[in-house]
Structure 1
Amino acid sequence: MQDVQEAKALVRAHYQALDTAPIDHIAEILGHRMSDDCLWRGFHPFNERTSPSAVAETFWSPVRQSLARMQRREDVFFAASNHNMPDGDIWVVSMGHLMGLFDEALLGIPATRKIAMLRYAEFNRVSDGKIVETAMYCDLLHLMRQAGIVRFPDQTAAHLVQPGPRPHDGLLYDAEDPAEGAKTLAVIDRMIFAVDAANENPDARTPRDEMRENWHDDMLWWGPEGIGATYTIDRYIEQHQAPFRRGIADRSFNGHVARLAEGNYGGFFGWPNLTLTNAAGFMGIAANAVRADMRVIDIYRREGDKLAENWIFIDMLHFLKMQGVDVLGELM
């Protein structure tokens, strides 16, 4: 338990220093708590970087330059060992929004001089007092929508600036009962198994029967821009699951880099999680035969013995670019 709390303290200090650092000192600040050869993964076009200076130059300096007077609006924070390596390093998870005044263009997304909120979720692996691995996923399509660029007007669910957990209890700064985290991880694992079973035999159960085993009927699914957010099992099936399963074929699960839970919260990420084919048209993109990857972070809230909320980050820009649709290139 002490290792978990030490890792949390390290990451919280990292965020405090990073969020208040002058832009020209960001690389130096990152170097205080990130290892020199850290592996950092980000959504397209950031991708993989391997040093604090590269992370600063590629991601944090441009973001801080664009979002003036940035604040971290954190909604979820938890830590635990990786389910895939239970005796290994601790992973610390943070999710929320990076909020600021969108005063300078970012990657061709035009500035608005208005408040903007960039959805993010981040996993940090801590080893020997340093952050040695990071997955920092942020929803650039969502930021584009705030700037008035509606690239996917026919998305099946709702565009929202997404709130944190309904009970406002997602910041697990203090130690939690390990038994509660084990319950959360068990429900997440059971849900993954149900999805895999549905992929193997889609006719074995109805989508509603599949869902209600692991989800509350009033579940909230906070999906990425291009798909959107939806509420209740029935509307989730209508507004995401059914369009996704109609459009997508030959899904291959590639595994998770990390999957963990603490208290009522848990999540995972992959690089990539899934490889699949847009076989019948998805997100308004014509059907094609390309095998495309989905890099995904999922964050969950458990309530009782079922899941109540799910926040999803998918690297849509990378997924679409593999199919020949360069959304950021269209802005140039």
Structure 2
Amino acid sequence: MSDVLQRAKETVLHFYQCIDDACDEQIDWVINEYCCDSYHWRGCHPFNELAAHDVSKTFWQPLKTAFRHLQRRQDVFIAGLNQVEDNDKQTGDEKTVWVVSMGHLMGLFDNDWLGIPRTGRMAFLRYCEFTEVDVTQLGGGKILQSAMFVDIPGVMVQAGVNPFPPQTGAQLIQPGPMTHQGLALETQSPSESEKTLALINKMISDLGNWDNRLSLEDELAQTWHDDMIWWGPTGIGASYTIERYIKQHSGVFRASFSERIFNGHICKFAEGQFGGFFGWPNLSLKPIGGFMGMAASEQFYDMRVVDIYRRDGEKLAENWVFIDLLYFFSQQGIDILSRQKTLSPAKQTN
């Protein structure tokens, strides 16, 4: 199985290198070369779901035009078998192979993007992409589908057009793992991968029980180190230690919704000390009002989320979280991108 995972990593790394090196007119060729005809691409709002022939002109070409000299800076790169039990593609041993890349796409923000005004300065687009690879083919597999989560509000903030009310956590360009060991380019220990996945599953089980008799502090302490770091999305921010995580996000989040429905995940796996998942959507939530300035509602709103974790010993130490907040608010009739029209942009310096 380790050979299969390594082949999947090689396929994705080659694909990334070609995408990163390609000019506008070459991106279509790269996608046709590496992806299957039925390639399914998921992305944050306003991109949402795209067919293969639309990915280049809708996402990559405008992005590379806006961010000149675009550079991929990976912090986490892992592969594994999808462990989502109810995936109808998985029966018995026929589990699908996925690769995750997380980090930043950095470039010179020289042209407007999605209406966000250019700054002429370097800018960082935080991203996490899940990629499924068909490794049954000889000589390298084809990419079957991808889920590309990017922190668009993070670019807005760098351009001086913060669309959200004051957030509870810290806003910053987020670093990679403290251990600098997130790039699993070599084969990882299967037993370590199993430990990580088991711990993530235990944490998910605890998290899903909002009626737990334990205090939130005691609940989190079962699976998290006290000095854990929660790297949240722009609009919520990052928190350090269990105590501050509760005050600055988890406690606030739980108190902001009267009901929630867990919709499951599309993909979940671990390799070595890292693992994670994404859903489409993960959750449906009914707000009581107050969260990020939201009004109360009797409706459920869907939330698409990515979580990437680092395990340290017997507990989790770091968690990078991506939430498609533009989609979450669009369901309520709120266009976050349009808010920049009423805000003062950062001074352009090029």
The offset of 1:279, in angstroms, is: 1.4
The equivalences for 1:253-264 within 5 A come to 253-264=262-273
Is 1:75 aligned to 2:75, yes or no? yes
1:157 aligned counterpart, secondary structure: coil
Match of 2:155 among 143, 164, 176: 143
**1:330 corresponding residue in structure 2:** 339
**2:348 corresponding residue in structure 1:** none
The offset of 1:150, in angstroms, is: 1.5
The offset of 1:331, in angstroms, is: 3.8
**2:281 corresponding residue in structure 1:** 272
1:174 aligned counterpart, secondary structure: coil
CA distance in 2, matches of 1:54, 1:150: 29
2:133 aligned counterpart, secondary structure: strand
The equivalences for 1:1-332 within 5 A come to 1-51=2-52, 53-84=53-84, 85=90, 87-127=94-134, 128=137, 129-197=141-209, 199=210, 201-202=211-212, 204-331=213-340
Residue 284 to residue 324, structure 1, CA distance change in 2 (3 Å):
same
Please tell me whether the aligned partners of residues 102 and 127 of structure 2 are also in contact (alpha carbons under 8 angstroms): yes
Instruction: Write out per-residue CA displacement over residues 53-85 of structure 1, whole angstroms, 9 at most, x where no aligned residue.
Output: 211111111111111000000000000000124
Structure 1: runs of 5 or more not aligned: none
2:128 aligned counterpart, secondary structure: strand
Letter in 1 for 2:142: K
2:32 aligned counterpart, secondary structure: helix
The offset of 1:89, in angstroms, is: 2.0
The offset of 1:287, in angstroms, is: 1.8
1:29 aligned counterpart, secondary structure: helix
1:64 aligned counterpart, secondary structure: helix
CA distance in 1, matches of 2:34, 2:286: 40
The offset of 1:328, in angstroms, is: 1.5
Letter in 2 for 1:169: Q
Please tell me whether the aligned partners of residues 68 and 107 of structure 2 are also in contact (alpha carbons under 8 angstroms): yes
1:87 aligned counterpart, secondary structure: coil
CA distance in 1, matches of 2:237, 2:59: 25
CA distance in 1, matches of 2:258, 2:182: 35
1:106 aligned counterpart, secondary structure: coil
Letter in 1 for 2:62: P
2:191 aligned counterpart, secondary structure: helix
Please tell me whether the aligned partners of residues 163 and 339 of structure 2 are also in contact (alpha carbons under 8 angstroms): no
The offset of 1:153, in angstroms, is: 3.5
1:170 aligned counterpart, secondary structure: coil
The offset of 1:27, in angstroms, is: 1.0
Please tell me whether the aligned partners of residues 79 and 271 of structure 2 are also in contact (alpha carbons under 8 angstroms): yes
Letter in 1 for 2:198: A
Letter in 2 for 1:235: R
Structure 2: runs of 5 or more not aligned: 85-89, 342-350
The offset of 1:286, in angstroms, is: 1.9
CA distance in 2, matches of 1:246, 1:325: 22
The offset of 1:288, in angstroms, is: 2.1
Letter in 2 for 1:152: F
**2:87 corresponding residue in structure 1:** none
Please tell me whether the aligned partners of residues 78 and 274 of structure 2 are also in contact (alpha carbons under 8 angstroms): yes
How many residue pairs match? The answer is: 328
Please tell me whether the aligned partners of residues 290 and 322 of structure 1 are also in contact (alpha carbons under 8 angstroms): no
Worse-superposed segment, 21-30 or 7-16:
21-30
Task: Give TM-score scaled by structure 2 length.
Answer: 0.92
The offset of 1:87, in angstroms, is: 2.9
Letter in 1 for 2:304: R
CA distance in 2, matches of 1:290, 1:329: 23
CA distance in 2, matches of 1:277, 1:62: 35
The offset of 1:163, in angstroms, is: 0.1
Instruction: Write out per-residue CA displacement over residues 263-301 of structure 1, whole angstroms, 9 at most, x where no aligned residue.
Output: 000000000000001212210122222311110110000
Letter in 2 for 1:175: T
CA distance in 1, matches of 2:314, 2:71: 35
CA distance in 2, matches of 1:89, 1:13: 20
Cα-Cα RMSD: 1.0
Letter in 2 for 1:78: I
